[in-house]
Amino acid sequence: MSESLYPVPEAWANRARVDAAGYARLHGRSLADPGSFWLEQAKRLEWVKRPELAGDWSFDEADFHIRWFADGKLNVSANCIDRHLATRGNDVAILWEPDAPDEPSRSYTYRQLHAEVCRFANVLKAQGVAKGDRVTVYLPMIPEAAFALLACARIGAVHSVVFGGFSPEALAGRITDCDSKIVITADEGRRGGKKVPLKANVDAAQQHAPAMQTVIVVKATGGDVAMQPGRDIWYHEAAAQVSAVCPPEPMGAEDPLFLLYTSGSTGKPKGVLHTSAGYLLWVSYTHELVFDYRPGQVYWCAADIGWVTGHSYIVYGPLANGATTLMYEGVPNWPDASRIWQVVDRHKVEILYTAPTALRALMAEGDEFVAKTSRESLRLLGTVGEPINPEAWRWYHDVVGAGRCPIVDTWWQTETGGALIAPLPGATALKPGSATLPLPGVDPQLVDAEGEVLHGATEGNLCIARSWPGQMRTVWGDHARFFQTYFTTYRGKYFTGDGCRRDADGYYWITGRVDDVINVSGHRMGTAEVESALVLHPKVAEAAVVGMPHAIKGQGIYAYVTLNSGEEPSDDLRKVLRDWVRQEIGPIATPDAVQFAPGLPKTRSGKIMRRILRKIAEGDVSSLGDTSTLADPAVVDNLVANRVG
Ligand code: WTA
């Protein structure tokens, strides 16, 4: 790990909104006097009723609750749109870049966005959607995805976005879990020149999702799709029949804003619930501080709306701040590895936010794809999703940013709503691979396995000792699981599931998940989910899944599979099983390696020793540690001998 220091560039120090001393003051105040600190921050939002209460929370079992600004009322879409109309109605809110570079881009001013969102909201109302109803959004990266989210927020419906890469089975599970009667989709999506059959996937989901009654279909590609009478509606036809005026519904600060399913270490994906005011405040606050956003700048978060990064930093954070947010339909390396940089040049992007996995993939293609573009507009670079290796960091800094642009490495999670540990570009000297320091309001703690708080330079499990406004409020339909998952490992603290090192300067270095969650191309995957998919296959008796190092994806998926007796291992079956998981969950869950294992290393009580499986998958077979507690230590020799890769 590199300890080299990149000081704040002079140009940044000179115009910093918050400098190093300012950061220390803010952070100190936020923890010393959180009530007044947060009520003051709350002024950045427009309230129907201004709150007099800030945080009201307890992480203890007897009195467990989390509330912020609970007596306040506001509407999230009015904060993201209406309040900007008087001052910047004609400024571009959403700049949309299509998949194919030879197609024209599109832009929507705040005024146009207002009309689009009102219309969309009225279409939802006409379909009977009311405050509190769940609306599933299964859309490609088209402007309608942002309209749909903001339309839900406008009428108080709770959106649940399902990534367009998920399979019909995964979609059905999410529709059913939150009992969503309505799904918004498109005929097809496009990514990297390929079509994604979204509407057909929704049709295929129906048999496992009987709750679904209405499907609103956006015409995106014009591809041929079957419309089911009585269930399916074309968005453009419905929109033509409603008005472009829709007053925003006043919402309680703690009314739900959205659900987003994410993987945990056990069981099926959980519906992470975020509420209205605290979430919006957090994403607006962090978007301004971390990206140093200033009016007029073109800002591009190259994530997908299907993930939390898209929710917080394509839609809600930037629009709450009146920004111009760029939305890109395609993938980073199509038609070639220059595409991102060409888009930067075309739209004069000043702030670019992307993931280490994309950077590693582009870096592997060679510098010439970067060098042939200008990138002169870039001022600031950001990264998120997984630890960035110092080599990729330096490439981003030196080659992409030509040494000019600070990099904000933002650590956060679906559960945290927005960034918690990240540099402020005018205040924080950078170290490649470190997310640096906690944002004001954030109180990280490193603890050992027993929960003892560790001080100074040390390494441990990362907890957050107090609530912050953007924290998730519950797991949909299972509040007990929320408490159990995050607040019981270390009593009285939120446990992140990440390991972390703190250096002598107080900088945080995330070392990765310490639980059974793997991070594939920056996307979270529960090993349990992949295992459940594998054992659904009629030939599979048992499966154990672990992460393995992968040069581009960060982590790959390594599956150990025990077949039913009488079934023969073969390369064909390996392929069949990989395709099977792809079908069940989606392409991102496809195992990179499948090893047939006549037996798995289990303790006498039947618990699989994943530590051993991880070591073998990593190719680190010389230090398997103590295997004496295994019921049958001989299985390990077989696993080592038949390692794949
Ligand atoms: C990892 C994505 C190191 C971490 C916003 C976390 C990171 C998980 C970083 C959450 C970073 C995210 N450095 N690791 N800058 N950002 N992670 O919920 O393991 O999809 O727990 O949220 O990604 O993934 P999620």
Q: ipTM of this model?
A: 1.00
Q: How far is the CA of 495 from the centre of ligand 1 (A)?
A: 14
Instruction: Quickly tell me which residue has 């590895």 as its tokens.
Output: 337
Burial profile 127-162: b = 16 or more Cβ within 10 angstroms, e = fewer: bebeeebbbbbbbbbbbbbbbbbbbbbbbbbbbbbb
User: Residue 290 CB: number of other CB atoms within 10 A?
Assistant: 25
For residue 566, give the 3-state DSSP assignment.
coil
User: For position 297, what pLDDT does the model report?
Assistant: 98
Which ranges constitute the DSSP H helices of 548-633? 571-584, 610-618
Q: How far is the CA of 466 from the centre of ligand 1 (A)?
A: 19
Is 511 touching ligand 1 by the criterion CB < 6 Å?
Answer: no
Q: What's the angle, vertex CA 394, arms to CA 547 and CA 342, rounded to 5?
A: 95
Which atom of ligand 1 is closest in space to residue 383's alpha carbon? 15
Is 514 touching ligand 1 by the criterion CB < 6 Å?
Answer: no
Which atom of ligand 1 is closest in space to residue 414's alpha carbon? 18
Ligand 1 probe mutation, 1, 354, 381, 411, most atoms within 8 A of CB: 411
Is 386 touching ligand 1 by the criterion CB < 6 Å?
Answer: yes
- Which of these, 82, 107, 120, 110, lies nearest to 240 by C-alpha position? 120
Q: How far is the CA of 521 from the centre of ligand 1 (A)?
A: 11
Number of H helices, E strands in the chain: 22, 31
User: For position 25, what pLDDT does the model report?
Assistant: 98
User: For position 68, what pLDDT does the model report?
Assistant: 98
Which atom of ligand 1 is closest in space to residue 309's alpha carbon? 5
Is 435 touching ligand 1 by the criterion CB < 6 Å?
Answer: yes
Q: Give the residue ranges of the chain where pLDDT is below 70.
A: 1-3
Q: How far is the CA of 386 from the centre of ligand 1 (A)?
A: 5
**Domains along the chain with CATH numbers:** 521-642 (3.30.300.30)
Q: How far is the CA of 265 from the centre of ligand 1 (A)?
A: 14
Report which protein residue has its CA nearest ligand 1's atom 5: 413
Q: How far is the CA of 384 from the centre of ligand 1 (A)?
A: 7
Going by the DSSP 8-state scheme, the letter that residue 458 receives in this structure is: E
Q: How far apart are CA 234 and CA 558, in angstroms?
A: 42
Report CA 114 to chain centroid distance, whole Å. 26
Q: How far apart are CA 193 and CA 544, in angstroms?
A: 35
Q: Provide the phi-psi class of 402: left if phi over 0, else alpha when psi is between -120 and 50, else beta.
A: left
Ligand 1 probe mutation, 282, 286, 386, most atoms within 8 A of CB: 386
User: For position 337, what pLDDT does the model report?
Assistant: 97
Known binding positions for Mg(2+): 535, 537, 540
Is 419 touching ligand 1 by the criterion CB < 6 Å?
Answer: no
Is 554 touching ligand 1 by the criterion CB < 6 Å?
Answer: no
Q: How far apart are CA 25 and CA 76, in angstroms?
A: 30
Cβ proximity of 358 and 385 under 8 Å = no
Q: How far is the CA of 510 from the centre of ligand 1 (A)?
A: 9
Which atom of ligand 1 is closest in space to residue 513's alpha carbon? 19
Ligand 1 probe mutation, 489, 524, 588, most atoms within 8 A of CB: 524
Report CA 315 to chain centroid distance, whole Å. 13
Which atom of ligand 1 is closest in space to residue 409's alpha carbon? 15
Report which protein residue has its CA nearest ligand 1's atom 11: 411
Q: What's the angle, vertex CA 317, arms to CA 312 and CA 318, rounded to 5?
A: 120
pTM above 0.90, yes or no: yes
Helix/strand/coil percentages in the chain, nearest 5 = 35, 25, 40
- Which of these, 445, 464, 463, 441, lies nearest to 455 by C-alpha position? 445
User: For position 3, what pLDDT does the model report?
Assistant: 64
Is 513 touching ligand 1 by the criterion CB < 6 Å?
Answer: yes
Angle between helices 634-641 and 610-618 (to 10 degrees): 20
List beta partners, residue 463. 445, 495
Is 261 touching ligand 1 by the criterion CB < 6 Å?
Answer: no
Instruction: Quickly tell me which residue has 């904060």 as its tokens.
Output: 79
Ligand 1 probe mutation, 359, 498, 500, most atoms within 8 A of CB: 498
User: For position 1, what pLDDT does the model report?
Assistant: 44
Q: How far apart are CA 221 and CA 102, in angstroms?
A: 15
Q: How far is the CA of 25 from the centre of ligand 1 (A)?
A: 27
Is 262 touching ligand 1 by the criterion CB < 6 Å?
Answer: yes
Phi and psi, residue 3, nearest 5°: -110, 10
Q: How far is the CA of 522 from the centre of ligand 1 (A)?
A: 7
Q: How far apart are CA 533 and CA 268, in angstroms?
A: 11
Q: In residues, how long is the chain?
A: 645
Q: How far apart are CA 120 and CA 556, in angstroms?
A: 39
pLDDT digits (tens, 9 = 90+) for 318-350: 999 999 999 999 999 999 999 999 999 999 999
Q: How far is the CA of 44 from the centre of ligand 1 (A)?
A: 27
pLDDT digits (tens, 9 = 90+) for 246-279: 999 999 999 999 999 998 877 789 999 999 999 9
Is 411 touching ligand 1 by the criterion CB < 6 Å?
Answer: yes
Instruction: Quickly tell me which residue has 């599956």 as its tokens.
Output: 559
Helix (H) or strand (E) holding 475, with range, is strand 474-475
Which atom of ligand 1 is closest in space to residue 524's alpha carbon? 20
